[in-house]
Structure 1
Amino acid sequence: MDLFHLFSVLIVLSALFSFINFRYLKLPNAIGLMLVSLLFSFVILIAGNYFPVFKNDIVERMNSINFSELVLEGMLSFLLFAGAIHIKIEDLRNEKLTVLLFSTISVLISTMVIGISAYYVLNLMGIEVTLVHSMLFGSLISPTDPIAVLSILKSAGVSKSLETKIAGESLFNDGVAVVIFLTILNIAKPGATVTFESVAQLFVHEAIGGLILGAIIGYAGYKLIASIDNYQVEVLLTLAIVMGGYTLAHFTHVSGPLAMVVAGLITGNKSKKKGMSDTTAEYVDKFWELIDAILNAVLFVLIGLELLVIQINKLVLIAALFILVITLITRYISVYIPSIAVRFKEKMDNNTLMILTWGGLRGGISIALALSIAPEYDKDVWVTITYVIVCFSILIQGTTIGSFAKKIQN
């Protein structure tokens, strides 16, 4: 099946599952889509006992999709830009210390604690893994995904400050986590010469380079947009910023995700305010809202369908439950420690930390990074554990965060 027909099937399934969710389940779209996709996968697995050819054909189609490449090299750039374009710089500036600490220090703490804990848990259970590969897992499971939770928190009546904290953290920590993941991946390579200077240089090149590139392409896009008044061309220019900018980041070996966040912030604030007419700004907003909705629908359908191709090991599954608990505890620790510094500047009580902990959902980027790990790095173990945590995160945390936030604030 070629790329067009494969993507057509995904769009059809996304539309059908979205209809089922909207018409009958009435769950937040991301959560509902993943639930319906999982149920669909279970039906296929059960039907496979009676019609193995049917099941094997679908599994073969799923195996033909490079989920990791599709998300990391394609969808992620659009999703991060679409998320950043709607965040107001003024709101982000008010929360700059919190967002900075949560998207860097929290990710580093989470990577270390989860990585070391997973290493000991798995080896104690007889599943042999190395520490460096466990640290890879720690880095890929650390970034949070705001997609499924922000709309729920808004309906729960949380403050604008908390919304900005969650959105800002998850936009930037995706990029930071990818940089940490790539850094550890380089360390994990056989025969790699690792020094503090080389690791620091790689990290700085990826992260700082991505931020600088994002600022350059965002500002260049602003100058082009401000020089004309035609909504069709200006929408096309925003699309060029994403696709051209991400491609440029790939070839210059800097962080594409961080570049897209910065470019999105500039486009959503400077370009919309000073370079676009009201008509153009409205079209740009609606265009990127649709792109965001469509890609997220496809992403969560894919996450649900990945159940068909994951190799399940019962012992690893049990280990995943222990690591799931560790991940939740670590999430609290990773936001609590930076919050000590934040409290010198603003009030951040334990209720806020609890909402940040339970609202720290894991999503598609974690699965994509897990699937990108080489088989010799215990890929099947990490993919299974990641899948369990992501499913729990979206289906359990995602469906309860609204009522949890309301209860804890009363």
Structure 2
Amino acid sequence: MSILDIIALFIFLSGAFIFINTFYLKLPSSIGLMIMALVLSIIVYCVGAFFPELHLAEHVKEYEFEEVLYQIVLTFMLFSGALNIDFRKLSSQRGSVLVLAIVGVLISTLVIGTGVYFMLDAMSIHLNYLYCLVFGALISPTDPIAVTRTIKRFNLSKDLEIKIAGESLFNDGVAVVLALTLLDIAHAGEDHTLSFFETTYIVIADIGGGIFIGLLLGYIGYRLLKYVDNDAVEVEVLITLALVLVGSQIADFIHVSAKQAAVVMGLVVGNEGKSTHVASAAGDYVFKFWKLLEETFSAMLFVLIGLEMLVLDLRLDYLAAGFFAICIVLFGRWTSVFIPIKMMSVKNHFAPNTISVLTWGALRGGLPIALSLSLTDFNGKDVIVTMTYIVVVCSVLYQGLTVPTLMRSTGSSSDANS
């Protein structure tokens, strides 16, 4: 089976999953896709047990998807997420959203990483503390698609809705860049003990360089889009595609964060492209294209993780660690919401139920899966992928199905569909 056959199979299964969920299951997208991915895993396992030559997961194992996931999927998903962040809609909530996204991710990474480190140590599973922090960062982003669709089902207050949607869109880029920066530090520290100045240089070079490249290419892309007529849809789409792919290659070539560059490019094009000061530089179809691409990748990632789990070294202690990690991740999320909100409550008003809604409504999605699978090989990668899979599954299914109950019990809203 060639790599093109595998990709074609992923696309076919993703399309079939979306079709079945849309017309038959009629569940929220992330929940429906996750359920079907689990069913697919069971079917593939059973077929492989009775007909080893047809074991699809073994064919998947022949190919290294890390490079594709890192260079294409992650970059595209981050650009798409940033493209849809509209600073004007955040209005007065801009400061709260930025603090929740940036400070919240930092707190979440520290709390989850530290908790997982001591949990694994108690289970006699060795994982370097920096790699535990990498897990803390990569599991911190919430799924903006799932969160946005959850919000639309309820009549939340406008301020709370903006906080939830804005924070979910922002924390993706922050968490991914932090995870990859920590990974660079961990890899560099394997050769020798890093000094404070070496660590600081890695952080500044990764993030600062990525921001510079993103601003530069984002502005160039905006000027090109402004020059092209909005009716030339294919030209505008190709410009954005070229912008992301070339920007990623340039950033990698000069050893700065390509993911940070993708986020900044998305922010520049998304906001300047919709600016009211000039005629809309980017047509609606550009935004629709990237939204469709993001949802397609999310669906394919659920298919991939369902197959990938069948070829991992699934140890009982790794699975147990994953279920323990669920509690640690939820506590880390609660802490990352509680501390910033209590600090900001001195000058800003927050609804009484904001902390509980932000904590339990934070569903994980395709981004943590893509990031965990794209990590370069190191001692402990399997346990990180296993924990990520279990946390995402439980988040999507358990939290996703119980969010309506939370909304009603807190009295924050009434179901919009009722």
Instruction: Give the corresponding residue for 1:90.
Output: 88
Deviations 1:155-190 (A, max 9, x none): 122244334433433443333333333333344332
Distance (whole Å) between structure 1 residues aligned to residue 322 and residue 156 of structure 2:
32
The separation in 1 between residues aligned to 2:280 and 2:127, in whole angstroms, is 56
The structure-2 alpha-carbon separation of the partners of 1:147 and 1:252, relative to structure 1 and needing over 3 Å to count, comes to farther
Q: Post-superposition shift, 1:74?
A: 0.6
Structure 1 match to 2:16:
16
Structure 1 vs Structure 2: percent identity of aligned residues? 42
Give 1:293 shift. 2.7
Structure 2 counterpart of 1:136, from 134, 137, 140: 134
Q: Kindly tell me: are residues 345 and 378 of structure 1, through their superposed partners in 2, closer, same or farther at Cα, counting changes over 3 Å? A: same
Distance (Å, rounded) in 2 between the aligned partners of 1:383 and 1:133: 12
- Deviation track 1:258-309 (CA, whole Å, cap 9, x = no partner) reads 3223222322232234698679623223322322232222222223333322
SS class of match (1:377):
coil
Aligned to 1:354: 356
The equivalent of 1:194 in structure 2 is 194
- 1:54 counterpart residue number: 54
Name the CA distance, whole Å, in 2 between partners of 1:67 and 1:402: 36
User: Partners of 1:283 and 1:276 in 2: how far apart?
Assistant: 18
Structure 2 residue corresponding to 1:246, chosen from 248, 251, 272: 248
Q: Which residue of 2 aligns with 1:316?
A: 318
**Using a 3 Å threshold, how does the CA distance of structure 1 residues 285 and 373 change in structure 2: closer, same or farther?**
closer
The partner residue of 1:257 within 253, 256, 259 is 259
Note closer, same or farther for the CA distance 1:14–1:110 as it changes in structure 2 (3 Å cut).
Answer: same
- Of residues 399, 405, 408 in structure 1, which corresponds to 2:407? 405
Query: Does structure 2 retain, via aligned residues, the 8 Å contact 1:226–1:274?
Result: no
Partner of 2:178, secondary structure, is: helix
1:131-280 equivalences under 5 Å are: 131-189=129-187, 190-229=190-229, 230-273=232-275
Instruction: Report the secondary structure of 1:156's partner residue.
Output: coil
Displacement, 1:386?
Answer: 1.5
Q: Which runs of 5+ in 1 are unaligned?
A: none
Classify 1:210/1:161 alpha carbon distance in 2 versus 1 (closer, same or farther; 3 Å).
farther
Q: 3-state DSSP class of the match of 2:349?
A: coil
The 1:64–1:356 alpha-carbon spacing in structure 2 relative to 1, beyond 3 Å, is farther
Q: What is the letter of the counterpart of residue 31 of structure 2?
A: I
What corresponds to 2:416 in structure 1? none
Shift of 1:215: 1.9
Tell me which amino acid in the other structure corresponds to 1:214: G
Give 1:67 shift. 4.0
Which letter does structure 1 place at the counterpart of 2:176? V
Q: Is 1:31 equivalent to 2:37 in the alignment?
A: no
Q: 1:132 to 1:211 in 2, by over 3 A?
A: closer
Is the CA contact 1:153–1:401 (under 8 Å) kept in the aligned structure 2?
no
Aligned residue number for residue 330 of structure 2: 328
The one-character-per-residue Cα deviations of 1:167-220 (angstroms, maximum 9, x if unpaired) are: 433443333333333333344332333122222222122223222322222211
Alpha-carbon RMSD across the aligned residues, in angstroms, is 2.5
1:343-391 deviations in whole A, cap 9, x for unaligned? 2342124411111111222233323333344554222222211111111
Count of matched residue pairs: 408
> What TM-score do the two structures reach when normalised by structure 1?
0.90
SS in 1 for 2:50: coil
Name the aligned partner's letter for residue 68 of structure 1.
E
* Structure 2 runs not aligned, ≥5 long: 414-418
- SS of the equivalent of 1:95 reads helix
Residue 4 of structure 2 aligns to a residue whose secondary structure is helix
* Aligned-partner residue type, residue 226 of structure 2: A
After superposition, residues 279-290 of structure 1 pair within 5 angstroms as 281-290=283-292
Task: State which drifts further: 316-325 or 90-99.
Answer: 90-99
Partner of 1:71: 69
Q: Could you tell me how far 1:154 is from its partner in structure 2?
A: 1.4
Q: TM-score, normalised by structure 2?
A: 0.89
Distance 2:178 2:246 in 1: 24
Question: Per-residue deviation at 1:40?
Answer: 1.1
Change (3 A) 1:232 1:212: same
Closer, same or farther in 2 for the Cα pair 1:261/1:279, shift >3 Å? closer
Q: 1:81 to 1:387 in 2, by over 3 A?
A: same
- What amino acid sits opposite 2:316 in the alignment? K
CA drift of 1:43 comes to 1.4
SS at match of 1:17: helix
Amino acid at match of 2:32: G
Aligned partners of 2:361 and 2:400 also within 8 Å: yes
CA distance in 2, matches of 1:279, 1:364: 30
Q: Is the 8 A contact 1:210 1:254 kept in 2?
A: yes
SS of equivalent to 1:47: helix
